[in-house]
Amino acid sequence: MATNHTTQIEINRSRDSEIESIIDRVHAALVEKGYNPISQLVGYIMSGDPTYITGHKGARSLITKVERDEILEVVFKRYLEGKPIK
């Protein structure tokens, strides 16, 4: 059955800076431990498996405080607005 309806999603913008901080801290921890942060973060986003993220500096605990869709919203927002993704 074909439909012309597009589902809309509401984004909670009030947490953007908190989520950005978490992404930055997790990124730094992954780099410190010698991991490829992009590969590890993509693995986590795609699978939901927190073992893709190191426990170093509490990174695994931090990343699980944020829903994966919220992480994607912030990353896409930063990218599409032309802000550098660290």
Residue-wise DSSP of 10-50: ---GGGHHHHHHHHHHHHHHHHHTT--HHHHHHHHHHH--G
Quick one: which of 25, 31, 33 has its CA closest to 59?
A: 25
- Mean pLDDT across 46-54: 97
The CA distance from 27 to 77, in Å, is: 18
**In the chain, % of residues over pLDDT 90:** 71
Q: pLDDT class for 7, splitting at 50, 70, 90?
A: confident
pLDDT greater than 80 at residue 19: yes
- Mean pLDDT across 60-65: 97
pLDDT tens figures, 29-40: 999 999 999 999
Task: Report the predicted TM-score, pTM, of the whole model to 2 decimal places.
Answer: 0.79
pLDDT reported for residue 65: 96
Q: What is the mean pLDDT of the chain?
A: 89
pLDDT greater than 90 at residue 26: yes
Which residue carries 């942060």 as its tokens?
Answer: 37
